Structure 1
Amino acid sequence: MDQLDLNTVILAQGGDRASQELLWRRHRGWLTGVLMVHAPRGDEVDDLLQEVALQFVRRLPALDKPASLPAWLRRIAVNTSRDAARRRESRPVQAGDATADLSDLCAGEPGGGRTREILNHLAELPTRYREPLVLRAVKGLTQEAIAEILSISVPAVETRLSRARRMLRDRLVKEEIIPSPRETLP
């Protein structure tokens, strides 16, 4: 995090609304990706994002280390998702409950069926691999940004991305959603 970002965080902690809005706009995109990874089936990511925004504004003054803002925001997003999952488990399932998940991204797209299958397999990956892959592939974040968000090293991000891609490719080949790399080139 550069000095300008640190100053923005400090101003936002002091209640400066413009700084809070600037920080939120800067981080909202990748937070959506984190929520997509961790959201329980049926919960709307937009609703969870709104809860994260409220927690961000309420708890920002208590943030001890302004430089840790991305990791702190990620923790809020993950905890918000877990809370939503607990609430969901504690209420009986109603007929007609939404079953939104990552596959909703492809609604109305040409070839959406194949995209839906791929996203469903992506959703089945372990969180430690799924999260960096979504942040990279869906949100377009750099490996450095992902490392900062996840509080891990860049080489760890590279390793997790490589393993996630391999796991996803293996699942897609097994289900015959994509051809085996050996079948496509001599």
Structure 2
Amino acid sequence: MQQSANQNISDTDLVKGSIAGDARMQEALYQRYAGKMYAVCLRYSGNNDDAQDLLQEGFIKVFRNLDKFRNEGSFEGWLRRVFVNTSIEHYRRKVHLNSITENEEVRIEDPSVSVLDQLAERDIVQLVQELSPGYRAVFNLYVIEGYSHKEIGDMLHISEGTSKSQLARAKSLLQKKVAEYLGEKRK
């Protein structure tokens, strides 16, 4: 199927055709969204190999559950949620966050990361990829996906306070990484 022809097919038709088992429609759906969903997977995984695995696992879930899409909201939004949830499940299988006490939470500062404006998007993505899986997951869920700390806590099976502290630590580490990165670029 040609790429330009793929763009002329509505998401509704892609979904209906895929549910009906039309391999061309399934391929067109995959081609339309694989790039965007790969970017979601990469934000959570930390490396290309895991991101590829998450992409495949996510699309398997999508094709198995297409009949559950109720045309409420955008199809791309529904897809994104499937891939975020797949990434979070992967994260929970591989990593367990350590809970911290309330006293530790109070001492963590939340510095602003204003120098991010000087970085290219790919540089920022690379720096986020260097965070530990726990920090990266909380950072992505809060900053990129827009979930609340309570929602993140429920998703990752951690306390709301732990989510807040993980975000503060992630921001602090990113600030240091950005400063180091910019210092190296200026040399």
Q: TM-score, normalised by structure 2?
A: 0.50
Task: Provide the secondary structure at the position in 1 that maps to 2:95.
Answer: helix
Per the TM alignment, residue 68 of structure 1 is displaced from its structure 2 partner at its CA by 2.4
Cα distance, 1:40–1:121 mapped onto 2, change above 3 Å: closer
Tell me how far 1:131 sits from its aligned partner: 6.2
Q: Is the alpha carbon distance of 1:66 and 1:26 closer, same or farther for their aligned partners in structure 2, counting shifts above 3 Å? A: farther
Number of the residue aligned with 1:50: 56
1:131 and 1:178, CA in 2 relative to 1: closer, same or farther beyond 3 A? farther
User: Which residue of structure 2 aligns with residue 73 of structure 1?
Assistant: 79
* Alignment partner of 1:177 is 2:181: yes
Residue 39 of structure 2 is aligned to residue 33 of structure 1: yes
* Conserved 8 A contact 1:31-1:77: yes
Deviation at 1:177, TM superposition (A): 2.1
8 Å contact from structure 1 (residues 35, 77) kept in 2: yes
Output the amino acid matched with 1:12: S
In structure 2, distance between residues paired with 1:67 and 1:16: 24
Counterpart of 2:179, as a letter, is: E
Which 4+ stretches in 1 moved above 3 angstroms? 40-43, 116-120, 128-132
CA RMSD across the alignment: 4.0
Distance 1:42 1:88 in 2: 16
- The gaps in structure 2 that reach 5 residues or longer are 1-6, 97-121, 147-170
User: Closer, same or farther in 2 for the Cα pair 1:42/1:85, shift >3 Å?
Assistant: farther
The aligned counterpart of 1:135 is: none
Distance 2:8 2:72 in 1: 11
Quote the Cα distance in structure 1 between the aligned partners of 2:123 and 2:13.
44
1:129 maps to 2:135? no
TM-score, structure 1 as length reference: 0.51
The secondary structure found in structure 2 opposite 1:178 is: helix
SS in 1 for 2:74: helix
Paired residue total: 121
- Counterpart of 1:110? none
Please tell me whether the aligned partners of residues 37 and 131 of structure 1 are also in contact (alpha carbons under 8 angstroms).
no
Please say if residues 58 and 83 of structure 2, whose CA atoms lie closer than 8 Å, have aligned partners that are also in contact.
Answer: yes
* CA distance, structure 1, for counterparts of residue 48 and residue 9 of structure 2: 40
Structure (1 or 2) with the greater helix fraction: 2
The answer to whether the 8 A contact 1:34-1:77 is kept is: yes
d(CA) in 2 for partners of 1:42 and 1:6?
30
Structure 1 unaligned regions, length at least 5: 91-115, 133-166
